[in-house]
Structure 1
Amino acid sequence: MIQLYSTIWRVSGRRQFILILLSLAVAGLSAVPLSYQKEIINALTHAKIDSPSLFVMCAEMMGVILLSLTLKWLVSYRSGTLGEDIIRLLRKRLYLDNANGKSIPKGTLTTTISAEAEELGKFTGGAFSDPVVQLGTLVAVIGYIASSQPGLGVIALAMITPQVIIILATQRKVNELVAKRVRILRGATNRIVNEDDGEDASTIEEEFDAIFETRRRMFIWKLSTKFVISALNAVATVAVLVLGGWLVLEGRTDVGTVVAATMGLSRLQAPTSFLIAFYRQVSAARVKFDLVRELLEEPQASARKTG
């Protein structure tokens, strides 16, 4: 993981730094609309606001949302173009290395240039900015909920912790299946490109079956994890409504806080789901990075041995 990120920073550090700054700005704005929602609802509930003030607060809230969306657009555009630039760089490197005498099997070269390079490049574009935005959003929203009502903040934090544990426990198995699938696909493609004798047709069919079985097992792991995480999110939402409703009835909090906390949980589900998907992506990218690096280094090692 460290080697993957150090390589990404070495190739695109300056552009990644700009993306990080923009991502921090997006994260910093994430809890501001919740504050406006709380203030507007409480003011309306207690009839402590007039029409001009309501319009001003709603306009300010919309301005913050539009600013946040503009920054998100900019982050997405810059990370997308950076990813495409890295894809181009990887494809040129693989093609030129092969053209300069490295004996990379044609099937392996084809799958690496067409699929693996693209997946690695896309990951590189958001390798730093994506987790900064989502982690920053989690910290900002949980901090806001906890500052408004500590008990509701504890529920929000408790919703995330088991999800992290589940992902860490299951992702290693998924990574093994990803690496296995890539290696099987490379072998099958090499046989097809090299047009081996017909006696290998059954072997290729068996490899296609193995790829299917590998993906099937990946689906089981991923979908089961998603089911458990969705159930945890539902439990957290119900818990906030139960605790928040009880606190309102006891006069220990206000309706605006409960509404903001409920909305905050909804805001937390998106970055949490994204970070889970991102962790899976970075784990798969690390596996494919190692495979591509092996592909580029093996011919060099062979040349040194020959010399």
Structure 2
Amino acid sequence: MLRLYSAIWRASAGRQILLILLSVAVAALAAVPLEFQRAIVNHLTSLDVGSERLVYLGLGMMGVILLSLALKWVLGYRAGTLGEDMIRLIRQRLLWRSSDINETGESVRKGTMTTAISAEAEELGKFAGGAFSDPVVQIGTLISVIGYISSTQPGLGLIAFSMIVPQIIIVLVSQRKVNVFVAERVRILRSATDQLTNEDLDAVEQDINALFDDIYETRKRMFLWKLSAKFLLSVINGAGTVGILMLGGWLVLEGKTDVGTVVAATSGLGRIQGPTAFLIAFYRQVSANRIKYELMLELFGPDPTRYRHRA
């Protein structure tokens, strides 16, 4: 993983720093709407209800939401264009490598190089665009929201935090197995593509169909692991929601907290489920792209660095 990230940083350090700063700003605003929500609910349930304060709270909440959306728009645009630039860069270097292979007569098959240029380069390039900013936004959002819930009611914050740890364990265990299937699928697909370049397709048709069957079986095993993990993660999310409502309701009945805090905590729980799900998917994406990056390096031969600064 460090090898993949160091390569991305070397190619785009300056632009990544800007994306990280934007990500921090977005994450810092994540919990602010929850405080407005808590204040609005408590205002409505208080004895002294005035429409003027309600309007101010609503306008303030909408202002924060608009600012956050504007920052996300800029972040998304910058990350997307960076990803496209990385796709172009990878394809250029693969093209240079193809030219060298033609000159030296090395044994890299055309089908493998075609697959790398058309599909694998796009997947790696898109990932590079958000490789740093995406996790910063989501981790920052988790810290911001859980920190806010804990500051208003520590017990509710503990429930929110306790949901994350078992999900991390489940993903780490399941993804190790999925990574094996990812590498296997890429190798099988490359082999099938290489055989498709054979002039006598009739002679290799049976072998290619067998490879397609292997890809199908590999994907089936991947689905079993990924869907089982997703089921367990959903169970944990459901249990967390029930726990927040039950504990929060009891605290309200005992006079130890207010309705607005419970509503904000429940809403915050929904806010952390999104980043948690994203980080889980992102970890899987990192793991898969690490395998693809290592497989792509094999195409560049013993000295990949010679293609970094070629004019």
Structure 2-normalised TM-score? 0.94
Name the CA distance, whole Å, in 1 between partners of 2:117 and 2:221.
26
Q: Distance in 1 between matches of 2:97 and 2:210?
A: 32
- Structure 1 residues 135-154: aligned runs within 5 Å: 135-154=139-158
RMSD between aligned residues: 1.2
Counterpart of 1:125 in structure 2 is 129
* 1:84 alignment partner, SS class: helix
Q: Structure 1: give runs of 5+ residues left out of the alignment.
A: 301-307
Change (3 A) 1:70 1:91: same
Q: 2:275 pairs with 267, 271, 276, which one?
A: 271
CA distance in 2, matches of 1:48, 1:40: 13
CA distance in 1, matches of 2:239, 2:122: 38
The offset of 1:113, in angstroms, is 0.7
Code of the residue aligned with 1:264 in structure 2: it is: G
**1: CA distance between counterparts of 2:196 and 2:288?**
26
Q: What's the counterpart of residue 287 of structure 2?
A: 283
- State the identity as a percent: 62
Match of 2:247, SS state, is helix
Distance 1:298 1:182, change over 3 A: farther
Deviation at 1:299, TM superposition (A): 8.3
CA displacement, residues 246-295 of structure 1 (integer Å, 9 cap, x when unaligned): 00001110000000000000001100000000000000010000001111
Q: Secondary structure at 1:100's aligned position in 2? A: helix
Distance (Å, rounded) in 1 between the aligned partners of 2:265 and 2:201: 65
Find the partner of 1:244 among 245, 248, 251.
248
Name the counterpart of 2:24.
24
> Quick one: distance in 2 between partners of 1:245 and 1:31?
22
> Is 2:105 the partner of 1:80?
no
Give the CA deviation at 1:195: 2.7
CA distance in 1: counterparts of 2:253 and 2:228, whole angstroms? 38
Is residue 226 from structure 1 mapped to residue 243 from structure 2 by the alignment? no
1:161 alignment partner in structure 2:
165
Partner amino acid, structure 2, of 1:92? Q
Give SS of 2:47's match.
coil
Asked if residue 4 in structure 1 is aligned to residue 8 in structure 2, the reply is: no
- How far apart, CA to CA, are the structure 2 residues paired with 1:284 and 1:207? 20
Give 3-state SS (helix, strand or coil) of 2:215's partner.
helix
- Matched to 2:126, the amino acid is K
Map of 1:303 onto structure 2: none
SS in 2 for 1:127: coil
Name the counterpart of 1:194. Answer: 198
Distance 1:15 1:77 in 2: 12
- Answer yes or no: is 1:295 the counterpart of 2:299: yes
Secondary structure of residue in 1 paired with 2:261: helix
The alpha carbon displacement at 1:194 in A equals: 2.6
SS in structure 1 at match of 2:131? coil
Q: CA deviation at 1:112?
A: 0.5
Q: Which moved more, 1:115-124 or 1:195-204?
A: 195-204
